[in-house]
Structure 1
Amino acid sequence: MPLDSANQSVIFKTFVYQRILKVQKVDTKTKILNAAEQLFAERGYADTSLRLITSQAEVNLASVNYHFGSKKELIQAVLARYLEVCAPSLEQSLAVLNKSDVPFTQHDVFNCLLAPLLELNTFRHRGTSIFLQLLGRGYIENQGHLRWFITTHYGKVLTAFNKAVQDANPDLSKEEIFWRLHFTLGTVVFTMASSKALIDIAKADFDVDVDIEGLIKRVVPFISSGVSAGGTLP
């Protein structure tokens, strides 16, 4: 039985209303993620309250629980946006390296990170720096749930990376590699956190134009040598 014009109008309005609600939900979620990302990078996780996030996002406090459930899950969602972009290409690069019949170095391993990290700049403005700051703060502030989240959801990539590091440094124990990668992360996080100042200093003092890619390429030989350096604690 064909619908009369009145019923057709009601159905159309209902459809439009549902579409509007869907768009509003997406927009609200994105606003929360964007505000949380900025505040977490600037202030840290512990010093950023949900009220501060929702105030900056201009949404109500209940919307965080609705979209994410808790602050921990919001933190994980902020990191996941970046990991979903860079993890697939990193996994592919490491797979090629790990299957290589030719011996490779720690420098080769870190070079696998370069393209995936720089890809984040196409995803978000200053994406590479922000991601590394967020990751670093997770370690500095002892956000144990982040380690659980990353190892649970991106364990395959971590396994491939650890294998590559071990194969590039067969004389190092797993414990020694843990310490050296920890020191590496500290170096990278500090460098990225102060990237703007370093770029300005390079220009002012040496008349050299450096961008984020150039900065990473400069730090890779340093951290590669640190990881592969001879000598361990007696």
Structure 2
Amino acid sequence: MSQADTVTRILDSAEQLFAEKGFAETSLRMITTRAKVNLAAVNYHFGSKKDLIQAVFARFLTPFCNKLDKEMATMAAGNPNPKLDDVLGVLAKTMLTGVTSSGQSNKLSVFMRLLGLAYTQAQGHLRRFLRDHYNGTYARFITYLRDAHPELSPKEIFWRIHFAIGACVFTMSSIEVLREMSIADTREDTGIDEVMNQLIPFLAAALER
């Protein structure tokens, strides 16, 4: 097995177990057992459990934020004063890139579950990691919100953003269950792209009012 294969297996196993059981409840031994590697491999490639948690997030967030930065730059070049709906549309488009292909919607769902755990479990190191590595992308989004609504105080922005994150985490981490509920209640299947199209105006209204 190559080193790249070993790293991928460790990350895949850690991602699945963290999402299923939580960060504190998942031991390195559980991860090595699922990945079929020894503990030395985890220590060699990641150093610690905290570093492994951060690597799981970085695997998703680094390419996502790089693409989102490019998409927002393209949007700003064509429209220097975009509406919040436009910004959220770019965010949704970036999130949905590739997720309609086989297996990718589950990847997004798993990541959103992990993001929810980052907020609900005591993972101060992870929140610092997210701030240190991805704050530029987050700050760019906040700037659009402030420009669109300069009357909002920092306190109002903080709470509106985190309420919006909560709605996204709940919806996207439970997407398959919600789709099944939709079929039962409305007799119609709702694709993940349509779910996002329903979510965007709700988030825009919540952030703007």
Aligned position for 1:17? none
Question: Could you list the per-position Cα deviations for residues 132-171 of structure 1 after superposition, in whole angstroms to 9, with x for gaps in the alignment?
Answer: 2211211111322222222222232122111112112221
Q: 1:146 to 1:120 in 2, by over 3 A?
A: farther
Aligned residue for 1:14?
none
> Which letter does structure 2 place at the counterpart of 1:138?
A
| Equivalent residue for 2:193, pick from 213, 216, 221 | 213
Match of 1:151 in 2: 131
User: How far, CA to CA, are the matches of 2:140 and 2:13 in structure 1?
Assistant: 33
**Following TM superposition, by how much is the alpha carbon of 1:130 offset from its aligned partner in structure 2, in angstroms?**
1.8
Q: Secondary structure at the match of 1:209?
A: coil
Offset at 1:97? 4.1
> Which has the higher relative contact order, 1 or 2, with Cα contacts under 8 A spaced 6 or more apart?
2
Larger Rg, first or second structure (1 or 2): 1
d(CA) in 1 for partners of 2:119, 2:77: 31
Please give the TM-score of this superposition, normalised by the length of structure 1. 0.81
Deviation at 1:54, TM superposition (A): 1.0
Greater shift, 46-55 or 93-102, is seen at 93-102
Distance in structure 2 (CA, Å) of the matches to 1:216 and 1:159? 23
CA contact (8 A) 2:109 2:173 kept: yes
State how far apart, in whole Å, the 2-side matches of 1:84 and 1:61 are: 26
Q: 1:55 Cα shift?
A: 1.1
Deviation (angstroms), 1:68? 0.2
Structure 1: unaligned runs, 5 residues or longer: 1-22, 230-234
Give, in whole Å, the separation in 1 of the partners of 2:36 and 2:80: 55
Aligned length: 207
Distance of 1:124 and 1:160 partners within structure 2: 30
CA separation of 1:123 and 1:170: change in aligned 2, threshold 3 A:
farther
Q: 1:105, CA displacement in angstroms?
A: 2.7
Q: 1:55 aligns with which of 22, 33, 53?
A: 33
Q: Using structure 2 for the length normalisation, give the TM-score.
A: 0.90
Q: 2: distance between equivalents of 1:127 and 1:173?
A: 35
**What residue is the counterpart of 1:176 in the other structure?**
156
Q: Partner letter of residue 126 of structure 2?
A: L
**Aligned-pair CA distance for 1:84:** 2.3
Task: Give the alignment partner of residue 188 of structure 1, picking from 146, 161, 168.
Answer: 168
> How far did residue 50 of structure 1 move?
1.0
What is the CA distance between 1:194 and its match in structure 2?
A: 1.9
Counterpart Cα distance in 1 of 2:90 and 2:113: 20
Identify which range, 69-78 or 185-194, moves more after superposition.
Answer: 185-194
Aligned equivalents of 1:173, 1:73: Cα separation in 2: 35
Deviations for 1:85-116, whole angstroms, at most 9, x for unmatched residues? 21112112222444565643322221121122
Taking the TM superposition and a 5 Å limit, the aligned residue runs for 1:78-117 are 78-98=56-76, 103-117=81-95
Say if 1:32 and 1:57, in contact at 8 Å, map to a contact too: yes
What secondary structure is seen at the aligned counterpart in 2 of 1:162? helix
In structure 1, what is the equivalent of residue 15 of structure 2? 37
1:24: how far off? Answer: 2.5
Identity over aligned pairs, percent: 43
